[in-house]
Amino acid sequence: MVLQEVLREFNLIRVLTVPMSPIIKLLGLPQSTSFLWIIANTLGLAYGSAVMFDEVSNGRIRKPEADLLNYHIAISHSNLEDLLLFAAIGVSIPWMLGIRLIIAALVVWARRWYLSAKGEVFI
């Protein structure tokens, strides 16, 4: 959390998240979830959930946005750690990463479609 505050203080979170903007949009996620997406995919859910809780409680991200991110990271999280472990036993990294990201994106877009059909357009 200290590193996160240092990144925020020196505006380095923006430096990390701006290049991710096209990918985040393609995945159906709001731009405000970029930093959390990076954390969840590199460090996993344990630390990522603490960061998400902090972001929501400080008002930097809204609950509906965090909800969409939760749908995504429930399927595709800890990609750095998990994929390195599976690569050690010979599993193809592009196949595993691609399938995880595609399914997660489909779930998020389906959730967005469902919410807009109910009239709950918030993003």
Residue 100 has pLDDT above 90, yes or no: yes
Range with lowest mean pLDDT among 25-34, 41-50, 69-78, 82-91: 41-50
Look up residue 20 and give its amino acid. M
For the chain, which residues make up each domain, given as ranges?
A: 2-117
Quick: pLDDT tens for 16-53.
899 999 999 999 999 999 999 988 888 888 888 888 88
Considering the entire predicted model, what is its pTM? 0.86
